[in-house]
Chains A and B, each alone.
Chain A
Amino acid sequence: MPLGNLLIVDDEPLLLRTLESSLEDCADRIFVAEDGQAALDLLARETIHCIICDINMPRMNGVELIKRLRATESEIPFIFYTGHGNHQLMEEAAMYGAFDFLHKPNLEGLEEVVTRGLAVGSGGPEPEREPDADLNEYQRMLREIEDGR
């Protein structure tokens, strides 16, 4: 079963290499970019299912990158990692639909979050809601509670 392609964006080559090697089993292909512009160039050429990105980068920060990407109607899941003290950027990131947040330097939960992000990103666009079907499903489940009592 395909896992999906991951893009890692960070201006620190050491961290890029560390992440690339620790995530090699989680994705089909891993691409790396050292800044936001390089990431946009790469996104124009390759199919990417999830992006993991530092929030603080010179030239183009992570929030600017997600903003530009969302302007192209792209809903690729975006996982940000950050240290403390970026309140403003974090609040902005929320506006553009960040998928999850990891904390530097330990990045606890990295593999789990990336795996989930790739699964969501590979699943295609969000399906249209069907409220009537949902209501029927909830009623069916409620009947099971009654049966189990």
Chain B
Amino acid sequence: MKFLLCDPYLSETPGYIENLSKLVDAVQACVTGKECQLKIFKECPDYLIVDVETKSHSALEVVKYVRVNHLPIKVFLSFRDETQLQELGLDNVIMGRAGIDGYLFRPISPDDLVSKLSNRPQVGRTSEGLDTPLAANEVFEKIDFFPVVPGTLLTMTYYVQNPGGGHDVLLRKGEVFDPARLESAPGLEAGLFYRRSDRLAFISFVNELAEKIATIQGTEPTSRLRLIHSAADRCLAQLDTTGMSAQYAEEGKKICRNLVSLVKQHPTLVEAFDKASADFPLLYRHWFMVAFYSTVIARQLSWNSARTTEFVAMGGLFHDIGLRDLDASYRSGGEDRWATDEAYQGHAAAGSNYVRNLEFPEPVAQIILQHHELNDGTGYPHGIKGNRIYPLAKIVSLADGFTNFLDEKQCHPLEGLREFVSDRRTVLKYDTDAIKSLIKGFIKDEEKKKNAAR
């Protein structure tokens, strides 16, 4: 059992560490939040006790770091005394929401520590019942397919529409799914619905399912692509309507990871994607397609890594996130129509700041900021060119340009590719290596091997 103690008053309490060391295998100590984060990264402790007066990265920043990165660490806050706890306005519920497992008063005695560890969790993580009653203004979303296999536990409640236009429960959260329930259900012909308030749960469920079916031999890539597409569509709808919380951002990352692993497994996926997207002419198809082609391009680059592919997939998926602050009229007529409009051009910087506030990785924010920069310096917001453009932004910029081209021409991707890369303007606007990688994405595997051998 490894302990990490972060306490700015360590030097004022001689023998403190020695006392705690009698109880546990290893105690590491530090005095600032910054040091603490470095030690968390290097030492991977099982337990962390961080004092609320910690400076240079506050205690809450340290807790956030642990929770945002999903580190399996039990986190306790330490306080001077009960009065300090009250003065700061912290209580069990607030700390529980922040991902804190308990609190102690310093200097921590071995007895206190043993008592707290045996009583965990100390603070209240509120748990809802199996289902919550319907609100009067509840909004429902239709699902295009039922993503549950027989015998699995339902993680949310599904509804059918009744003749009065309302919704009745068909399958309840917590039940084991029995497909027979779908056979004679009245109202099912109009589709199956879930509550919009369950959207996050639905995305999370679809993401997990997409991950699981990747391990099943012989599964058609199209099935997995449908799942990823469905999760992406809802995630983008969320950010387009009510904005996106950190939880949605996490699901967005999972979508990208699924997308990357799918492209890795199936190099000839371009055709499958084309087929699947024809089945789902969704509103946010463009954003998903940019993420898809960005992934295809990144996979072919000689310097590609898992890190870069995930970043371009995320950057591709969220590249136009800044448009959400613009008037709806900006979404019609294609990007060319607005290319010189100052307010429209602001979407790149607005989008990058938006994701920074959600604590997205900086490379994703930079991709969003620079996805309209062009190799010849004619892009925006800064008109930078060549090697000054962030390398990952060049990938998304090309994917965006290619997707817009396909949308405009309404042709098969391969036909579009032929025309796209034969245009001299394309050659000058986009990065040569990125264009070659896009073409390679269309070459079947055997051909790629042959090329590599030449």
B384 contacts which chain A residues (CB < 8 A)? 94-95, 97
- Decide yes or no whether B443 CB sits under 8 A from chain A: yes
Instruction: Given A87-B356, A100-B363, A131-B427, answer yes or no on A142-B439 (Cβ-Cβ < 8 Å).
Output: yes
- Decide yes or no whether A103 CB sits under 8 A from chain B: yes
- Decide yes or no whether A122 CB sits under 8 A from chain B: no
Interface residues of B in 357-392 (CB under 8 A from A): 359, 361-363, 365-366, 369-370, 375, 382, 384, 386-391
Interchain CB contact under 8 A, B41 and A105: yes
- Decide yes or no whether B55 CB sits under 8 A from chain A: no
A87 contacts which chain B residues (CB < 8 A)? 353, 356
Instruction: Given A105-B38, A106-B41, A138-B422, answer yes or no on A90-B390 (Cβ-Cβ < 8 Å).
Output: no
B interface majority secondary structure = helix
B387 contacts which chain A residues (CB < 8 A)? 75, 97, 120, 126
Task: Scan A4-27; emit 1 where CB is below 8 A from any B CB, else 0.
Answer: 000000000011001000000000
Number of interface residues of B (CB under 8 A): 52
A130 to chain B, nearest CB (A): 9
Q: Which of A15, A99, A103, A137 makes the CB contact (< 8 A) with B436?
A: A137
- Decide yes or no whether A141 CB sits under 8 A from chain B: yes
Stretch at the interface among B117-125, B140-148, B280-288, B444-452: B444-452
- Decide yes or no whether B307 CB sits under 8 A from chain A: yes
Q: Which of B375, B390, B435 makes the CB contact (< 8 A) with A98?
A: B390
Task: Scan A92-130; emit 1 where CB is below 8 A from any B CB, else 0.
Answer: 001111111111111011001000100110000010010
Instruction: Given A103-B362, A141-B436, A148-B447, answer yes or no on A91-B41 (Cβ-Cβ < 8 Å).
Output: no
Interchain CB contact under 8 A, B388 and A96: yes
Q: What is the bound-complex CA distance between A102 and B444, given in angstroms?
A: 35
Q: What is the bound-complex CA distance between A80 and B349, given in angstroms?
A: 19
Q: What is the bound-complex CA distance between A95 and B444, given in angstroms?
A: 38
Q: What is the bound-complex CA distance between A90 and B375, given in angstroms?
A: 21
A104 contacts which chain B residues (CB < 8 A)? 37
> Which partner residue on chain A sits nearest B383 by CB separation?
A95
Q: What is the bound-complex CA distance between A18 and B38, given in angstroms?
A: 10
Interchain CB contact under 8 A, B427 and A134: yes
Task: Scan B402-415; emit 1 where CB is below 8 A from any A CB, else 0.
Answer: 00000000000010
A80 to chain B, nearest CB (A): 8
A-side residues, CB < 8 A to B, are 14-15, 18, 75, 80, 82-84, 87, 90-91, 94-106, 108-109, 112, 116, 119-120, 126, 129, 131, 134-135, 137-139, 141-142, 144-145, 147-149
List 11 A-B residue pairs with CB atoms under 8 Å apart, sorted by A's residue number.
A14-B35, A75-B388, A82-B362, A84-B359, A100-B391, A106-B37, A120-B387, A131-B427, A138-B436, A144-B447, A148-B446
